[in-house]
């Protein structure tokens, strides 16, 4: 099994943390370059989107970080991370989908403007709007963690925690005002007993 993508990428680190939870050690290829929107030619040859991560497992070539995490957990029959029962599985997937859609859309303006320093996102009004949207989405996560009192999808750690902790790490590290979210902070602390969290999330970059 081979995982392509630089470990500075938030989406590659989701997969690396998942591999750590599964005790998998895929071959690594550090392709991908932050300066290139479409990725390296080798990546394009495997993924028409030109983005990393890409997982190659025998004849299977897979893109989309959340899908790769789900594939690996299912492959290893780790139903603690991705339940087999349809209802429990759907809850985990719904939070992963929310991360990839509403939450991801909210951070773009301020993250691209202040961290990546991309000229298209230099407008302060655009950044302020993004901060408002991102904070509103993070309050949704806070409410969910208050409701479960433990992990994103309920009482147990799942793939939803991996993808949302990486998003939360990006939120914490982006220079802007941060709302006080005690349940989110307690959950990040709860996760710090996991070596995969320490290696690929807490001590990683935004």
Ligand X SMILES: N[C@@H](CCC(=O)N[C@@H](CS)C(=O)NCC(=O)O)C(=O)O
Binding site for ligand X (CB under 6 A): 9-11, 32-34, 36, 39, 51-53, 64-66
35 DSSP assignment: T
Closest to ligand X by CB, 35 or 193: 35
CA angle (89, 199, 99) in 5-degree steps: 35
Q: Residue 193 CB, nearest distance to ligand X (Å)?
A: 26
**For residue 159, what are the contacts with CB-CB under 8 A and spacing of at least 6?**
18, 66, 69, 70, 73, 81, 82, 92, 96
Q: Residue 203 CB, nearest distance to ligand X (Å)?
A: 18
Q: What order do you get walking across the sheet with 60-63 strand by strand?
A: 27-29, 2-4, 54-57, 60-63
Closest to ligand X by CB, 66 or 137: 66
The end-to-end CA distance of the chain, in Å, is: 27
Q: Residue 184 CB, nearest distance to ligand X (Å)?
A: 21
Partner residues linked to 54 by β-bridges: 4, 63
Q: Residue 63 CB, nearest distance to ligand X (Å)?
A: 6
Closest to ligand X by CB, 36 or 192: 36
Closest to ligand X by CB, 10 or 73: 10
């Amino acid at each position: 099994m081979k995982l392509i993508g630089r470990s500075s990428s938030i989406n590659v680190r989701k997969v690396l943390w998942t591999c750590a939870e599964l005790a998998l050690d895929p071959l690594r290829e550090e392709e991908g370059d932050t300066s290139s929107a479409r990725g390296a030619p080798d990546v394009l040859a495997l993924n028409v989107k030109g983005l990393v991560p890409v997982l190659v497992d025998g004849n299977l070539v897979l893109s989309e970080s959340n899908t790769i995490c789900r594939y690996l957990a299912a492959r290893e029959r780790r139903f603690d991370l991705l339940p087999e029962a349809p209802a429990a599985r759907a809850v985990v997937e719904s939070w992963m989908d929310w991360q990839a859609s509403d939450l991801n859309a909210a951070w773009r303006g301020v993250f691209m403007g202040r961290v990546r320093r991309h000229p298209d996102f230099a407008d302060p009004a655009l950044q302020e709007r993004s901060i408002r949207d991102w904070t509103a989405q993070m309050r949704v996560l806070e409410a969910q963690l208050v409701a479960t009192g433990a992990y994103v999808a309920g009482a147990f750690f799942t793939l939803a925690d991996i993808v949302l902790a990486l998003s939360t790490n990006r939120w914490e590290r982006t220079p802007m005002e941060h709302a006080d979210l005690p349940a989110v902070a307690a959950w990040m602390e709860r996760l710090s007993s996991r070596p995969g969290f320490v290696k690929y999330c807490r001590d990683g970059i935004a």
